[in-house]
Amino acid sequence: MPIYSNHFTVGTATAIQIVAPDVEEQEAWIHDDEHSQSNKLYIGNAQVSPATGLHINSDETVKLNIPPNDTVYAISTGGNVNVHVMRVTQH
């Protein structure tokens, strides 16, 4: 089971893909590394927005079980947010 870790800077203009699709189910840990709490992070599908996304609190880590071929996108409000992602695939 390979482990991958990535760092992203998520902005306000366009949602970016933070978990790529895989042919197998995968687990992902997403950490909002925003310490000032002024910029908010939201995750969801490719059309995620602050109005539709799941809010991740500053300094919070969430674990997701992601079905095969699904992805996770992120967008922020107020500016750039540093996001760390670790994912484990079932190969």
DSSP secondary structure string, the chain? --EEEEEEEE-SSS-EEEE---SS-EEEEEEE--SSSSSEEEEESTT--TTTSEEE-TT-EEEEEE-TT--EEEEEESS-EEEEEEEEE--
pTM of the model: 0.93
pLDDT at 75: 97
6, pLDDT greater than 90: yes
Return the structure tokens found at 34.
């925003």
Q: Give residue-wise pLDDT tens across range 34-76.
A: 887 789 999 999 999 999 999 999 999 999 999 999 999 999 9
Q: Give residue-wise pLDDT tens across range 13-43.
A: 899 999 999 999 999 999 999 887 789 999 9
The rounded distance, in Å, linking the Cα atoms of 64 and 60 is 13
